[in-house]
């Protein structure tokens, strides 16, 4: 996989098998059902991307959706609908297989998601940082937001989870 070119492209329902395979490697500690991914993709198909490698097999994915600042999406949640008032793009998950890392692909998809956020006329991107990745997200312009209410909402992600946001200009 080391010499392969990769590109971010729109995610489709036919990619869910690859999404699950990547998630099992990258996020084994945070399992989500295929139906949960399908729900988010159906709600916001223009906010979800696959990292295509050789033969269009996915080496990563990004799942985001219009959401409300200060609110999180619980792990493995079935949403059914978006909030009536969305003022942020919530990055639910970015996962890249280890063999595809170190190429600036995470930064590229964050830039792509910022463009999507602007098209949705929202001025913030939010996420829940896990695995102690707060420093990684800080390099992409995100900063932690700490409140008692948010700590309670992050419970499904574990005690090290941090809610973060990035304001867009």
The answer to whether the CB of 154 falls within 8 A of the CB of 72 is yes
d(C-alpha 78, C-alpha 121), whole Å: 25
Boundaries of every domain in the chain: 7-167
Per-residue pLDDT of the chain (169 residues; tens, 9 = 90+): 445 689 999 999 999 999 999 999 999 988 999 999 999 999 999 999 999 998 899 999 999 999 999 999 989 999 999 999 999 999 999 999 999 999 999 999 999 999 999 999 999 999 999 988 999 999 999 999 998 888 888 888 888 899 999 999 8
pTM of the model: 0.93
At residue 22, the 3 state secondary structure works out as helix
Long-range contacts of 16-24 (CB under 8 A, 24+ apart): 16/41, 18/50, 18/57, 18/58, 18/61, 19/50, 19/58, 19/61, 19/63, 21/58, 22/58, 22/59, 22/60, 22/61, 22/95, 22/96, 22/97, 23/61, 23/93, 23/95
At the top level of CATH, which class does the domain 7-167 belong to?
alpha beta
């Amino acid at each position: 996989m080391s010499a392969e070119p990769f590109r971010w492209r729109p995610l489709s329902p036919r990619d869910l098998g690859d999404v699950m395979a990547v998630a099992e490697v990258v996020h084994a500690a945070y399992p989500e059902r295929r139906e949960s991914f399908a729900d988010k993709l159906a709600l916001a198909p223009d906010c979800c991307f696959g990292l295509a490698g050789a033969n269009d097999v996915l080496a990563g994915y990004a799942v985001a959706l219009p959401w409300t600042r200060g609110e999180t999406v619980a792990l493995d949640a079935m949403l059914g609908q978006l909030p009536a008032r969305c003022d942020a793009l919530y990055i639910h998950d970015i996962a890249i297989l280890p063999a595809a890392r170190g190429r600036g692909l995470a930064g590229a998809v964050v830039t792509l998601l910022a463009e999507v956020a602007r098209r949705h006329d929202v001025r913030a991107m939010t996420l829940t940082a896990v695995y102690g990745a707060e420093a990684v997200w800080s390099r992409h312009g995100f900063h932690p937001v700490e409140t008692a209410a948010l700590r309670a909402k992050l419970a499904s992600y574990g005690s090290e989870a941090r809610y973060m946001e990035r304001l867009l200009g």
